Amino acid sequence: MNFAPVIAKELGLRSTQVKAAVELLDAGNTIPFVARYRKEATGELDENALRGILERLEYLRHLEQRKDEVLRLIEEQGKLTDELKNQILTAVKLQEVEDLYRPYKQKRRTRATVAKEKELEPFALWLLEQPAAGKPEVEAVKFINPELGVETAEDALAGALDIIAEIISDDAAVRKEIRAQSFNLGDIAANSKKAEERSPFEMYYNFREPLRKIPPHRILALNRGEQEEYLSVKLEVPLLEMSAIIERRYLKSGSCALWVKRAAEDSYKRLLAPSIEREIRAELSERAEEQAIKVFAGNLRQLLLLPPVRGKIVLGLDPGFRTGCKWAVVDETGKVLKIGVIYPHPPQKKREEAKDIVAETAREFGVQLIAIGNGTASRETEEVVAELIKERGLALEYIIVSEAGASVYSASKLAGEEFPEFDLSLRSAVSIARRLQDPLAELVKIEPKAVGVGQYQHDVQPKRLEESLHGVVESCVNAVGVDLNTASSSLLQYVAGLKPAVAKNIVAWREEKGKFKRRAELKKIPRLGEQTFIQCAGFIRLPDGANPLENTPVHPESYELAESILDKAGFKTADLNQHPLEVRAALAALVPEKIAAEFDAGVPTVRDILGALQRPGRDPREDLPRPLLRKDVTHLEDLTEGMILEGTVRNVVDFGVFVDIGVKHDGLVHISQLSQKFIKHPMEVVAVGDIVKVRVIGIDRERERVSLSLRDVSAAGVQA
């Protein structure tokens, strides 16, 4: 089936764009490759649009498969009517298909199935007809059958009502309307199961909010509170409105109506209400999980694309109390020069000794920056470093670095292979130092879900989270490009088209044969065929390659076009390295549309080639603001309301932003304090890694919490 028109309408795209994208993706092309190198075919769809198309395509294909399966199963029962078939074929949601299939689905043994075994179904159908002259008590006598367990007329009536209750419960139209009205009119309510206990869920101990208004993060909080048995959570909906929906469809006048009404009430309370509640909560949880994944993915992207701090010798510090602070010095390339442990905090309290070791190490290796992990004892360690810089007059700066996932990496097989001679606890300090030098290269070694920049990411479906985060890492790696001669297999496996095994083969080949000189040499790698080469080649960089084009995003399939463009400007490829400024000026004067027409090429491709040739070897992260470096520490007692500070955004969630302002705990900027104008989500204003000026608007010293604002913050009065 051609889903292109449906998807195009849903996503606000042209049908031709979607059709081309689907054909390319079905042919085995990767999203980064299609987004970058097939712009003419797709009308310049970006990665987000392509992922949206793929997601809807997979859903619609699954929907069609389920429709075929349901039609087959009902037909095998001999109950498929033309009307039912048409309803199933025209359904646009999986839930609609399941509702239509529900009456024909094999069920576990229910009260209704027991009644049917007692041959009471004809009586139930007679009651549903509600004949004007009929008398249920009299009709019931006809179905008394002691052998089947129907001893009295009351037994017959009870069994018939059970059957009617299930018929009503299985009615797709009734379920759809009750589901919709429950969502529109209902509330989600929570009460404490442990009122006497303090917990993170105290704000939900007596809680109620309309279903249609509750934000995703509160759904996940309620779910977690329920799972940890602090909360009792339920839906509360107006019973009269729900009953009216059933009565409008099933109740007529006459003596039978009272019995049908009784069955309807039982159907709603016993069958429909619990089932609809499960469905609504599952839907709310699914939406909340999708939002949590979206937030995590957005934060992860920003974290991965933080600008690298190149050309610096860095000392990484992994803080700790009892086990000490692990440290490692790495050179400009990330090579480990020396490692050790200091014990400035209780119980050892060797503060001065720790300062001496750091100062001596800094002088010995020419350390320029200290990267401090932001975990346990982070602020206490920051105080030691700040004192050291001030007391010894060292030309040093420090920065707090997210250490999320460092312990996961340290214990991983990869870390063991990389540092077999190091104790597990010392590897994390190396990771902290390196993630300042090149966040992307280091963070790809860690499972994306272990990088703690989200909200309730541990409460969502692992498979869905993993798929989404893998896509984010893949997108970031390919946006930046990868140096083929220095990249680890962890980094290479995210390059478009490359699988982990092939990435390892590339590293093995490099270690045996030496540096790559041309991208085309990748074709010699075991299990790397022509199609894989096409996918990955444009994202590979060779700074010392035989052809300067090998260090640009220009794909090998466009080398001839790139050389023609250079020739048009009066240059050769060698001039990209020898006369970069002259080449840049000449190319900037060219008009992409004219060049495209002259060389019979696509305008988007020509535009990209011109951009790539003007800045060969460019790292897009270098255009981003530098990280905030510090020389001194701020204490909570130093803060006063109204104070203006500079800080780093550490995490963005639905309800606000956490900013590191140098005190023990990150301050919170509530969403209402992010902007003068209305915003739907904090990501509209800030992102992880942003350097922001904030105003202190509240200090809770007892709970060590600081409230901040980005509103009405001027540059004047920033505290050091």
Q: What CATH number corresponds to the domain at position 10?
A: 1.10.10.650
Note the pTM of the prediction, 2 decimals. Answer: 0.85
- Tens digits of residue pLDDT in 330-359: 999 999 999 999 999 999 999 999 999 999
**Look-up of token digits 């904030």:** 694
Structure-block tokens of residue 253? 């006048």
pLDDT at residue 504, rounded to an integer: 95
pLDDT at residue 453, rounded to an integer: 66
pLDDT at residue 308, rounded to an integer: 92
- Tens digits of residue pLDDT in 213-255: 999 989 999 999 999 999 999 999 999 999 999 999 999 888 8
CA distance 594 to 205: 68
Query: CATH number, domain at 234?
Result: 1.10.3500.10
pLDDT at residue 663, rounded to an integer: 85
Which of 161, 167, 111 has its CA nearest to residue 136?
A: 161
Top pLDDT among 449 and 436 is at 436
Do 150 and 278 belong together in one domain? yes
Q: 3-class secondary structure for 85-141?
A: HHHHHHCCCHHHHHHHHHHHCCCCCCHHHHHHHCCCHHHHHHHHHCCCCCCHHHHHH
Are the beta carbons of 220 and 461 closer than 8 angstroms? no
What number is the average pLDDT over the span 379-390?
92
Quote the DSSP letter at residue 311: S
Do 553 and 405 belong together in one domain? no
- Tens digits of residue pLDDT in 577-587: 999 999 999 99
Do 171 and 248 belong together in one domain? yes
Are the beta carbons of 583 and 611 closer than 8 angstroms? no
Do 271 and 415 belong together in one domain? no
Do 507 and 611 belong together in one domain? yes
CA dihedral 404, 408, 410, 413 (to 10 degrees): -140
Are the beta carbons of 522 and 506 closer than 8 angstroms? yes
Do 46 and 99 belong together in one domain? yes
pLDDT at residue 418, rounded to an integer: 86
pLDDT at residue 397, rounded to an integer: 93
Query: CATH number, domain at 696?
Result: 2.40.50.140
pLDDT at residue 720, rounded to an integer: 43
Classify strands 314-318 and 369-373 as parallel, antiparallel or unpaired: parallel
- Select from 437, 453, 473 the last residue of a domain: 437
Do 619 and 655 belong together in one domain? no
- Does residue 458 lie within any of the structural domains? no
What number is the average pLDDT over the span 534-550?
96
CA distance 612 to 589: 15
- Does residue 459 lie within any of the structural domains? no
Q: Is the peptide bond before 347 cis (omega within 30 degrees of 0)?
A: yes
Structure-block tokens of residue 555? 């794909």
CA distance 121 to 501: 61
- Does residue 488 lie within any of the structural domains? no
What number is the average pLDDT over the span 209-216?
95
pLDDT greater than 50 at residue 603: yes
Classify strands 691-700 and 644-653 as parallel, antiparallel or unpaired: antiparallel
Please name the residues in contact with 382: beta carbons below 8 A apart, sequence gap of 6 or more.
372, 398, 400, 633, 662
Phi, psi dihedrals of residue 524, rounded to the nearest 5° = -85, -10
Please name the residues in contact with 134: beta carbons below 8 A apart, sequence gap of 6 or more.
126, 254, 255, 256
Do 619 and 640 belong together in one domain? no
Apex CA 4: angle with CA 499 and CA 43, to 5°?
A: 70
| Greatest pairwise CA separation for the chain in angstroms | 104
pLDDT at residue 272, rounded to an integer: 97
CA dihedral 205, 210, 214, 220 (to 10 degrees): 50
- Select from 406, 437, 468 the last residue of a domain: 437
Angle of helix 580-588 versus helix 559-568 axis, rounded to 10? 90
Strand order across the beta sheet in which 397-401 lies:
336-342, 325-330, 314-318, 369-373, 397-401
pLDDT greater than 60 at residue 715: no
Phi, psi dihedrals of residue 693, rounded to the nearest 5° = -95, 130
Please state, for a pLDDT cut of 90, what percent of the chain lies above it: 78
- Select from 416, 437, 458 the last residue of a domain: 437
Query: CATH number, domain at 335?
Result: 3.30.420.140
Residue type, 571: F
CA dihedral 351, 357, 360, 362 (to 10 degrees): -90
What sign results for the dihedral spanned by CA atoms 43, 541, 308, 618?
Answer: negative
Residue type, 227: Q
What number is the average pLDDT over the span 441-463?
78
pLDDT at residue 718, rounded to an integer: 52
pLDDT at residue 422, rounded to an integer: 86
- Does residue 202 lie within any of the structural domains? yes
Are the beta carbons of 500 and 474 closer than 8 angstroms? no
pLDDT at residue 457, rounded to an integer: 64
One DSSP character per residue, 132-200 reads TT--HHHHHHTT-BGGGTB-SHHHHHHHHHHHHHHHHHT-HHHHHHHHHHHHHH-EEEEEES-TTS--T
CA distances (Å), 600 to each of 41, 490, 567, 613, in order?
Answer: 15, 39, 16, 19
One DSSP character per residue, 358-387 reads HHHHHHHHT--EEEEESSTTHHHHHHHHHH
- Does residue 462 lie within any of the structural domains? no
Query: CATH number, domain at 573?
Result: 1.10.150.310
Do 155 and 45 belong together in one domain? no
CA distance 157 to 176: 28
pLDDT greater than 70 at residue 454: no
Mean pLDDT computed over every residue of the chain: 92
- Does residue 192 lie within any of the structural domains? yes
CA distances (Å), 417 to each of 422, 427, 661, in order?
Answer: 10, 11, 37
pLDDT greater than 70 at residue 716: no
**Look-up of token digits 């969403």:** 671
pLDDT at residue 463, rounded to an integer: 84
CA distances (Å), 431 to each of 118, 350, 366, in order?
Answer: 71, 25, 19
pLDDT at residue 714, rounded to an integer: 61
Q: Which domain holds residue 345?
A: 314-437
- Does residue 12 lie within any of the structural domains? yes
Which of 353, 393, 385 has its CA nearest to residue 369?
A: 385
Do 195 and 243 belong together in one domain? yes
What number is the average pLDDT over the span 126-155?
93
- Does residue 208 lie within any of the structural domains? yes
3-state secondary structure of 326: strand
CA distance 304 to 451: 10
pLDDT at residue 95, rounded to an integer: 94
**Look-up of token digits 């696509």:** 602
Q: Please report which confidence band the pLDDT of residue 207 belongs to, taking 50, 70 and 90 as the band edges.
A: very high
Of the listed ranges 113-117, 148-152, 292-296, 487-491, the least confidently predicted one is 292-296
Q: Please report which confidence band the pLDDT of residue 424 belongs to, taking 50, 70 and 90 as the band edges.
A: confident
pLDDT at residue 413, rounded to an integer: 86
3-state secondary structure of 3: coil
pLDDT greater than 50 at residue 63: yes
pLDDT at residue 712, rounded to an integer: 82
pLDDT at residue 23, rounded to an integer: 97
Do 63 and 184 belong together in one domain? no
What sign results for the dihedral spanned by CA atoms 179, 180, 186, 188?
Answer: positive
Do 183 and 151 belong together in one domain? yes
Q: Please tell me the total count of domains within the chain.
A: 5
Residue type, 517: K
Are the beta carbons of 707 and 657 closer than 8 angstroms? no
pLDDT greater than 70 at residue 574: yes
Of the listed ranges 426-430, 503-507, 558-562, the least confidently predicted one is 426-430
